[in-house]
Amino acid sequence: MASTYNEREVLALLQEESTQRRAFELIVNQYSEPLYWQIRRMVLSHEDANDLLQNTFVKAWTSIDYFRAEAKLSTWLYRIALNECLTFLNKQKALATVSLDDPEADAVKRLEGDDYFSGDKAQRLLQKALLTLPEKQRMVFNLKYYQEMKYEEMSDIFGTSVGALKASFHHAVKKIEKILEEED
Sketch the domain layout of the chain as residue ranges. 1-102, 119-184
Whole-model pTM: value is: 0.70
Task: Please list, in sequence order, all residues whose beta carbon lies within 8 angstroms of the beta carbon of residue 50, skipping any fewer than 6 positions away.
Answer: 36
What dihedral angle (degrees, nearest 10) is formed by the CA atoms of 85, 90, 96, 98? Answer: -150
pLDDT computed for residue 100 by the predictor: 47
107-138 in b/e form (b: 16+ CB < 10 A) is bbeebeebeebeeeeeeebebbbbbbbeebbb
C-alpha to C-alpha distance for 168 and 139, rounded to whole angstroms: 10
pLDDT computed for residue 23 by the predictor: 93
Taking only the tens place, the pLDDT of each residue in 41-100 is 888 889 999 999 999 999 999 998 888 777 789 999 999 999 999 899 888 877 665 544
Side-chain-side CA neighbours of residue 156 (13 Å): 14
pLDDT computed for residue 15 by the predictor: 87
C-alpha to C-alpha distance for 107 and 131, rounded to whole angstroms: 8
Classified by CATH at the fold level, domain 119-184 comes out as Arc Repressor Mutant, subunit A (1.10.10)
Q: What average pLDDT does range 146-151 have in this prediction?
A: 88
Choose which CATH entry (2.60.40.10, 1.10.10.10, 1.10.1740.10, 3.40.50.720) describes domain 1-102: 1.10.1740.10
Taking only the tens place, the pLDDT of each residue in 98-147 is 544 555 555 555 555 555 555 567 777 887 888 888 888 988 998 898 88
Separation of CA 106 from chain center = 20
